[in-house]
Each structure stands twice: as C-alpha cells, then as structure tokens.
A and B are shown apart, each in its own frame.
Chain A
Amino acid sequence: GAVVSQHPSWVICKSGTSVKIECRSLDFQATTMFWYRQFPKQSLMLMATSNEGSKATYEQGVEKDKFLINHASLTLSTLTVTSAHPEDSSFYICSAPGLAGGSSYNEQFFGPGTRLTVL
C-alpha cells in the first residue's frame, strides 16, 4: 500500500535555528502534499499545500517566510521552520493523496509525524 515517511521523527533545537523536515512518498508519486500542525491535545490544522514544481499554497495566518516549503520532486516535500522559536514547538504531519490497494479512489496517506521542540 501507499506509504508516507517523515524524517526526522523528532528534533530538538535551540531558539533561532532552522529545522528541515522531510516528507516522502515511498511507493507512489505525489504532485501534491499537505502539511499539518498539531498542538498538544488539539486537532490537526492545515498549514499549506505543497505543489511539485510550483509555489506552495499557504493557509491564512501561516507565515510563508517562516515555514518554507519545497516540493522538489514527485516523492519529496520539505518543510523548513526558519528561526524557530518555542511557540513553533508542535507535531508536524504531512500527507499525500494516493491510491489505496485495489481502489480507484485517491485517499490521503499520512506520515508518522515529526515532533519539534524548540528550547
């Protein structure tokens, strides 16, 4: 079946540094990927839509200069949190639409998430 991986699974960094998170579709191609953020005990909020070969589309209130998204290939999207601050600490999850086994329907497959802690 369709698998999405994320790397790293967790990261701790100092305030002011930048952190890159990778999202890969392992056995299928994805022209679009989605990035979500989840604060503790809260739901997932869509941050942006990553588009292969073009600029990402950001949701209202998400700073595009702070959360840089690059969709360099059909299997890789990266999210870079620039000049991270403690309030950026969160669980970041990506997803990609793909075909489930034996299905003609495109559904979202989620990565396992990346826990970012900014000290």
Chain B
Amino acid sequence: AQSVTQLGSHVSVSEGALVLLRCNYSSSVPPYLFWYVQYPNQGLQLLLKYTSAATLVKGINGFEAEFKKSETSFHLTKPSAHMSDAAEYFCAVSGGAGNMLTFGGGTRLMVKP
C-alpha cells in the first residue's frame, strides 16, 4: 500500500523567490514518485518523475525534485518563482510502472508580485 502526505495545503512566495513544496511518501515496495501541476478546470500535467534512476530529477518549467529514501521524501523545488507557476501541485506515488497513482492532498502555490 502507498500513501502521500503533502505538508502545507497553501504556500505563498514572492516572485523570484525559492519555491519548496514538501512531499513525504509511504510505500511497501520501491516507489515511483511523481509531481503534477493542475491549473483551474484543467487536467494534470506531469512536471517530473522518479523511477529508481537518478535521485535528483529535473522536470519541466525549471522544477526539480530530490528523492531521499532515508527521509521518505520527494520535495519539489524551483530556484525562482514566476507568476505563471501559481497553480495546484500534486505529489503522487505508484507501486510500479503503469500502476494506478495515489495522490497527496495537493498544495496550492500562490506567487505574489
């Protein structure tokens, strides 16, 4: 069984500031981990994924995440926030390739000018 906890349902940063969205997971098997972004009334867009290769994963739009097994974490970061980054972000875990995903509660990122 898998579960995901996203700390902080809302995160607010200033434009140009560091973005840090936290994700901790629980999995009984080696996990596959994902970060998705969702804009209002739209589906999910994959930002990046960890599939047991490199622990530091780079994604689209300047985002990256680091898999830390000892901390069971997969936090998402971006060095400099842009107004267009304002959206809902979901961390998800699956037990294998193509398997169904278990999502965290989501974090709404707000970017202040």
Contact = CB atoms under 8 A, between A and B. Distances in A.
B77 interface: no
Contact of B41 (A105, A106, A110, A115): A115
Contacts of A111: 43
A89 to B, nearest CB: 14
Contacts, number: 52
B83 interface: no
A74 to B, nearest CB: 14
B98 A42 contact: no
Contact of A42 (B45, B51, B105): B105
B104 interface: yes
Contacts of A108: 34, 94, 98, 100-101
Nearest to A115: B41
Nearest to A57: B100
A43 B41 contact: no
Chain A contact surface mostly = strand
Nearest to B90: A43
B42 A43 contact: no
Contacts of A95: 101
A110 B103 contact: no
A108 B46 CA distance: 9
B97 A34 contact: no
A46 B101 CA distance: 8
Contacts of B94: 108
A113 B51 contact: no
15 contacts: A34-B101, A42-B106, A43-B104, A43-B105, A43-B106, A44-B101, A46-B101, A91-B41, A107-B34, A107-B97, A108-B34, A108-B94, A110-B36, A110-B45, A112-B43
Interface of B: 34, 36, 41-46, 49, 51, 90, 94, 97-106
Given A43-B103, A105-B51, A108-B98, 5 more contacts: A34-B101, A93-B43, A97-B97, A110-B44, A115-B41
